Amino acid sequence: MNKKLKSTFKSNEIYIFLIIIALGILVQIRSGQFFTGNNMVDLLSAMIVPGMFAVAEFLAIIAGGIDVSFPALASLSAYASTRILLDQNYDGNVILAFVIAMAIGALLGAVNGFLIGYLNLNAMIVTLGTSSVFQGFMQGALRAKQLSVIPSGMKEFGTNSFITATNKTNNLTSILPYTFIILLIVCAVMFFILRYTIFGRGIYAIGGNPVSAHTVGFNVKRTKFFMYIIIGMIAAAGGICRVCMMQQMHPTNMLGMEMNIIAGVVLGGVALTGGAGTLIGCILGTFLIILVQNSMILLGVPTTWSNVFVGIVIVVGVALSAYQSIRTEKTKKKLVKEAA
């Protein structure tokens, strides 16, 4: 037990968690509105789409790569599937929307995966390029414009409430849509894959030491290829969730999210060099950013300033985890010295 406790305090996650709690208490003291049901529900609701994107990005970073194309990929898949359903006057449930979008997402992810895995090109450059191509394809070839009506199944899925919370002091009601379940499913499935499958351990192994991964017998190219397909599918599902929740399809409004998502993942202790980090850390880091973005208003800070605070949180958070790793390095040295 003691050992377990010790290793918990060595981890980055616990610090992010403590920062989240501290920030929550601060906001509570200032506004009295933090620990209210509707604020909690609002935060969880704001977490749905970024959370899914973060899990996708997490995969790429763990394997030693990166993906900056997921907002464009999600936009293109979500736009194309919504358009197809609208053109067919489809009025069934939302499952078909997810199926079509994720199929398109898988296809687009396969493009990334082929270039990065099989041709061994740099992930950053490839996804910068494909991001531009996906976006251009959506706006040029598909002539994407805002779709203010979406199929009824998607609309219902986005508005039906899974949990409803009302604030007694001001009678504000917030709902948590069913899309939250999609986030839970994505997290659970990815947790299982990463922890209990050879494929998932392969992703970690490749991020840790690609040469050894090859010699041990992992098929490095194929693993990367399928990983980017999964990333594409998660991103596309996130795109559909976003459309359902906004009740409209806006082709460009997800673009530009990649930087905050990457920052959140890194904040959660996931090393940009690959191999190190946990799914929980990735979710906590993303949540911290969402929290800062959403709580500024409760603190009385104008929303126009929220970027400044998000920036400060990123820098401080990353500095903290760097300090943490220096400290463990030092204790390690000390231990070696004592042993000698």
Partner 1 sequence: MSECLLKAEHIQISFGNVHALKDVSLEIVPGEIHCLAGENGCGKSTLIKIISGVHQRNGGTIEFDRKKLEKITPIDAINMGIQVIYQDFSLFPNLTVAENLALNSELASGKKTISWKNVRKIAEEAIKKINMDIDLDEKVSRLSVAQKQMVAISRALMFNAKLIIMDEPTTALTKKEVDALFKIILKLKEQGIAILFISHKLNEVFEISDRFTIFRNGEMVATGSTGELDDKKFTYYMTGREFADKTFIPEKVTDTPIFELRNLSLEGSFENISLSLRGGEILGITGLLDSGRTELALSMFGLKPATSGEIIRNGKPVKITNPREAIASKIGYVPEDRLSEGLFLQRSIGDNIIISEIDSLKKKNGQFDLKKRDEEVDRWVKEFEIKTKNPENPATTLSGGNQQRIVLAKWLACNPDVLILNGPTVGVDIGSKHDIHAILQRLAQKGLGVIIISDDLPEVIQNCSRLLVIKEGSIVAEYDTQQVKEQMIIDAMM
Query: What is the contact surface with partner 1 in residues (CB under 8 A)?
Result: 7, 195-199, 201, 204-205, 207-209, 211-213, 215-218, 271, 274-276, 328, 332, 336-337, 340
Considering the complex, what minimum distance in angstroms separates the CB of residue 126 from partner 1? 23
Considering the complex, what minimum distance in angstroms separates the CB of residue 225 from partner 1? 17
User: What whole-number distance in Å separates Cα of residue 63 and Cα of residue 205?
Assistant: 8
* Closer of 138 and 266 to partner 1 (Cβ): 266
Ramachandran bin of 329, using left for φ above 0, alpha for ψ from -120 to 50, beta for the remaining angles: alpha
Task: Give the number of C-alpha atoms closer than 13 A to the C-alpha of residue 247, restricted to the C-beta side.
Answer: 4
**Given the DSSP bridges, would you call strands 161-166 and 173-177 parallel, antiparallel or unpaired?**
antiparallel
> Nearest 10 degrees: CA dihedral of 89, 109, 56, 175?
0
Considering the complex, what minimum distance in angstroms separates the CB of residue 276 from partner 1? 5
* Closer of 198 and 308 to partner 1 (Cβ): 198
Considering the complex, what minimum distance in angstroms separates the CB of residue 217 from partner 1? 5
From the number of C-beta atoms within 10 Å of its C-beta (0-12, 13-18, 19+), residue 212 rates as exposed
Considering the complex, what minimum distance in angstroms separates the CB of residue 279 from partner 1? 14
Considering the complex, what minimum distance in angstroms separates the CB of residue 332 from partner 1? 6
> Nearest 10 degrees: CA dihedral of 52, 16, 163, 230?
10
Whether residue 239 contacts residue 74, with contact meaning beta carbons closer than 8 Å, is answered with yes
* Closer of 24 and 208 to partner 1 (Cβ): 208
* Closer of 211 and 326 to partner 1 (Cβ): 211
Please tell me whether residue 249 adopts helix, strand or coil conformation. Answer: strand
Considering the complex, what minimum distance in angstroms separates the CB of residue 295 from partner 1? 33
Whether residue 57 contacts residue 131, with contact meaning beta carbons closer than 8 Å, is answered with no
* Closer of 145 and 333 to partner 1 (Cβ): 333
The candidate with the shortest Cα–Cα distance to 283, out of 194, 183, 208, is 183
* Closer of 178 and 218 to partner 1 (Cβ): 218
User: What whole-number distance in Å separates Cα of residue 130 and Cα of residue 123?
Assistant: 10
